[in-house]
Every structure is written in C-alpha cells, then in structure tokens.
C-alpha cells in the first residue's frame, strides 16, 4: 500500500492518503502533549508502542463484535485503516474517579464508581474540549439523530465490558479511557483513532502505579517503561 500525501496532522499522529480512496495510513508520533497542548515533549519509541498496543486491542475488539477502522499494522509506526468521517465527540468512559472528575465534582480520587460513567466532550482544541450534553451535540450538528448518541454510549459500554475484565486478567485496573468514532463509507458508526496509554488510564492492581500518560502529566518519569510494561502484559509476558 503506497503512502501518499499528508491529509491531517494531530497531536499524536499523521494521516496519509493511499492509492485506495477508502484507506488511510496513520503514522504514530513520539510527541507528547498534555493540558490542551500547554505541556509538550517527546519520548523516543512511544509512537511505536502505541501503534502495537492499539493494533492488539483493535484486533481483540473486532473478534468480540466491535467494528473498528483497523486493517493492519504496516510497520512499527504505521497502521493501515479505513477512512472515516470523524464524529467530533470524545466519548469518555470512567470506572474509577480521578483527574477532572475528581477536581470538578469533588469525588474522592480513586473511588470506584457505583456504575460506569459515560461522558461526551466536544472535540475542539480551540474551546478546550468542553463537556457536552445530548442537546448540545444535536444543536452543534455533531450527530444527525439522538439514536446516534445512544449508539455511541452503547458501543462505549460494550468496549468497556470487554476491556475492563481483559485488563484485570493482566493485573491492571482500567480506570478510564477516551474513545473516538467515525462513519465509514456506508455510513456505519465504527471505532477509530487509537486505544493506548495515551488515552487510557491504567493502574497496577497491586501497587497502584500509574502506567499511562499521567506519568508525563504529573512529571513522574518512566513513561516508556510503563508503556512497554502495558504491551508486555497484553502480549502475555512480564
């Protein structure tokens, strides 16, 4: 598959056209950003780790009936996937309170929630990715119908029902994570973007150690080591 012109560059990936109009190539970058781009750095090898982790998780979800944009890993930093029209809603799934949920609502950090919380954020860097309710999403035209919002919530919960016990077997608590969705050429809503320690929070079940991008946000160091550990547990080795 030939890699052609750059069609989009985000914080973590570059997207390239291919010789097939329905397929794109994502290049996973080593760049790190936090706090809406206010904190920036780079970690050599981070992009390749996120590519591999995302590929393994997309394959798992596909095998369990969740449609995704994933086609194949091309090499360490490149993934071939379907072209989608991105829905500008970040779907946040929370199992344990931390981060903005604790700061904004005063819920004790680390408190296990009585049920899985699903939230919507507006995918808009200029506005700081604000919270959305259903009416906001419809007024902004981010989806066409209420049924599509209901489907985003339902699919997010299904992903959580697969990944939460999967990571528990790997001795990791899946604290929360962000999902992005898009519509394929037939108008079907499918999972897109990536699933990695960049957009998931993982806490070691025994030590509580953070194994995700919070290591960068909080200046803890050891980010690449943590990402490697997540990948090793996914692949079944320490």
3-state per-residue secondary structure call for the chain? CCCCCEEEECCCEEEEECCCCCEEEEEECCEEEECCCCEEEECCCHHHHHHHHHHHHHHHHHHCCCCECEEEEEECCEEEEECCEECCEEEEEEEECCHHHHHHHCCCCCCEEEEEEEEEEECCHHHCCCEECHHHHHHCCCCCCHHHHHHHHHHHHHHHHHHHHHHHHCCEEEEEEEEEEEECCCCCEEEECCCCCCCEEEEECCCCCECCCHHHHCCCCCHHHHHHHHHHHHHCCC
Assess whether 92 and 68 both reside in one domain: no
Domain edge (last residue) among 38, 63, 82? 82
Assess whether 110 and 72 both reside in one domain: no
CA 148 centroid distance within chain = 19
Domain edge (last residue) among 82, 106, 137? 82
Assess whether 60 and 91 both reside in one domain: no
Model confidence at 238: pLDDT above 90: no
Residue 235 covered by a domain:
no
Quote the mean pLDDT of the chain. 96
What is the count of structural domains for the chain? 2
Looking at residue 237, its pLDDT comes to: 55
Q: Quote the radius of gyration of the chain (alpha carbons, Å).
A: 17
Cα 5 to Cα 157: distance, rounded to the nearest angstrom:
36
Assess whether 73 and 103 both reside in one domain: no
**Each residue of 177-209: pLDDT tens digit?**
999 999 999 999 999 999 999 999 999 999 999
Assess whether 101 and 178 both reside in one domain: yes
The CATH number that applies at residue 101 is 3.30.470.20
Assess whether 119 and 165 both reside in one domain: yes
The CATH number that applies at residue 72 is 3.30.200.20
Q: Domain range for residue 73?
A: 6-82
Looking at residue 38, its pLDDT comes to: 84
The mean pLDDT of 31-47, rounded to a whole number, is: 91
Assess whether 31 and 118 both reside in one domain: no
Residue 1 covered by a domain:
no
Assess whether 77 and 118 both reside in one domain: no
Q: What is the largest CA-CA distance in the chain?
A: 51
Angle at 76 between CA 74 and CA 79, to 5 degrees: 40
Assess whether 114 and 35 both reside in one domain: no
Model confidence at 35: pLDDT above 90: no
Looking at residue 194, its pLDDT comes to: 98
φ/ψ of 69, rounded to 5, equals -85, -5
Looking at residue 11, its pLDDT comes to: 92
The mean pLDDT of 158-173, rounded to a whole number, is: 98
Assess whether 61 and 98 both reside in one domain: no
Assess whether 185 and 102 both reside in one domain: yes
Cα 181 to Cα 193: distance, rounded to the nearest angstrom:
7
């Amino acid at each position: 598959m030939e890699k052609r012109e750059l069609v989009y560059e985000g914080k973590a990936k570059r997207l390239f056209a291919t010789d097939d109009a329905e397929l794109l190539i994502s290049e996973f970058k080593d760049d790190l950003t936090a706090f809406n781009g206010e904190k920036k750095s780079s970690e050599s090898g981070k992009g390749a780790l996120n590519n591999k982790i995302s590929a393994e998780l997309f394959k798992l979800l596909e095998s369990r009936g969740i449609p995704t944009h994933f086609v194949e890993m091309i090499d360490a930093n490149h993934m071939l996937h379907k072209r989608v029209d991105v829905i500008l809603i970040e779907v946040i799934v929370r199992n344990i309170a931390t981060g903005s949920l604790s700061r904004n609502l005063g819920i004790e950090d680390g408190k296990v929630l009585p049920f899985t919380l699903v939230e919507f954020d507006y995918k808009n860097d200029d506005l700081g990715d604000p919270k959305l309710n259903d009416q906001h999403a419809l007024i902004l035209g981010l989806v066409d119908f209420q049924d599509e919002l209901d489907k985003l919530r339902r699919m997010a919960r299904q992903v959580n029902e697969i990944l939460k016990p999967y990571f528990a077997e790997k001795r990791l608590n899946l604290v929360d994570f962000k999902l992005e969705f898009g519509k394929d050429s037939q108008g079907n809503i499918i999972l897109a973007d990536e699933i990695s320690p960049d957009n998931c929070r993982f806490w070691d079940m025994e030590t509580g150690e953070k194994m995700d991008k919070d290591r960068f946000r909080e200046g803890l160091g050891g980010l690449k080591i943590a990402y490697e550990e997540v990948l090793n547990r996914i692949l079944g080795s320490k």
